[in-house]
Amino acid sequence: MMAAGLAARAILTVMPLAKGPLPDPSSGPPQITENEHVLVRSLDWLLYTAHTRDEALAQANNLIRYFLGIGRPVAARAIMALVSQKLIRTRLDSDFHSNEGVEFQHYQQYVSLTDALDSVPSPDTYPSGESAQKRAAWKDAYLRAIDNAWNLGLDLLTHSWLENEVFKMWDDSRIEELRRVRSLHVPDIVIRLNYILLNSRAHSEGNLDRAMELVPIVADERYFVYPTFLAYDGNRLEEYLDGVRSVGLALLEAGRNPNDLFIPGQKR
């Protein structure tokens, strides 16, 4: 146990700090690195006994926050997989109503959504040279994948992900870590979802309406989404607005006025 803890602390001294400008979450290596693997396995010794399961969940959340804060969701996923395999199946559901349990569930929500975004096929894979049956099957699977990503995305964005009253009970440093995670990943989710909806317009023009529905969600102060675009001297708002302009142009090309979507009774 002590050796695992010492190894983890040694690795942390050479790992990036979760401070300063926000990294690009897609810029790192696609696989978990050797140092990240050591940190993941350092959690193992806490997962072998029921006496340390509360500590294990707390330490798992610490590592997940760290990995998400440095733009390494692949390593955060490895932590979650380990916890799911060795801890969740041995615990009562009521155990996850604790503050640590609620935080972990929010990370599960993030993984479910990003899995859904990743599972949406590229429209370039449309089997145009195949039979009508194969084209219809592809389109059905494609639109169902988008529906799933949309519903999960809407749920995360409108339910104060990592921003509810539970998280305001933590100390200032932990609240800052959560703010960093939100500021890195919420804009990325919005931008990805916007472009998935935009790029599906040849198969469902209604997805352009959905993309425009994101605009008031981003702007609504109740959801704390807009500030994440400007935090830590970042500015992904311009990138998002470029995507919104592309949606507006696509609506105009389809003979529709984007402004009508914000007027009651005008949506088609």
| Arithmetic mean of pLDDT over the chain | 86
Q: What is the pTM of this model?
A: 0.88
**pLDDT for residue 13:** 58
The stretch 126-148 carries a mean pLDDT of: 97
Structure confidence at residue 10 as a pLDDT band (50, 70, 90): low
pLDDT tens string 22-55: 888 777 778 899 989 888 888 877 777 777 778 8
pLDDT tens string 219-243: 999 999 999 999 887 779 999 999 9
pLDDT tens string 160-214: 899 877 888 888 999 999 999 999 999 999 999 999 999 999 999 999 999 999 9
The stretch 131-158 carries a mean pLDDT of: 97
Residue 109: Cβ within 10 Å count: 16
Task: For residues 73 and 47, give the distance between their C-alpha atoms in angstroms, rounded to a whole number.
Answer: 21
Task: For residues 37 and 35, give the distance between their C-alpha atoms in angstroms, rounded to a whole number.
Answer: 5
**pLDDT for residue 96:** 55
Task: For residues 160 and 93, give the distance between their C-alpha atoms in angstroms, rounded to a whole number.
Answer: 22
Tracing tokens 């949606």 back to the chain, one arrives at 247
Structure confidence at residue 91 as a pLDDT band (50, 70, 90): low
Closest CA to 104 of 52, 61, 168: 61
**pLDDT for residue 97:** 63
Closest CA to 231 of 21, 40, 90: 21
**pLDDT for residue 11:** 54
Residue 132 reports pLDDT greater than 70 = yes
Task: For residues 64 and 78, give the distance between their C-alpha atoms in angstroms, rounded to a whole number.
Answer: 9
**pLDDT for residue 268:** 47
Residue 4 reports pLDDT greater than 70 = no
Tracing tokens 């509810």 back to the chain, one arrives at 164
Q: Pinpoint the alpha helices (H) of the chain.
A: 2-12, 34-41, 53-69, 73-86, 99-118, 132-157, 172-199, 206-219, 237-253
Residue 140 reports pLDDT greater than 50 = yes
Closest CA to 167 of 182, 156, 188: 182
Residue 85 reports pLDDT greater than 90 = no
pLDDT tens string 56-77: 888 899 999 999 999 999 999 9
Closest CA to 76 of 158, 18, 159, 132: 18
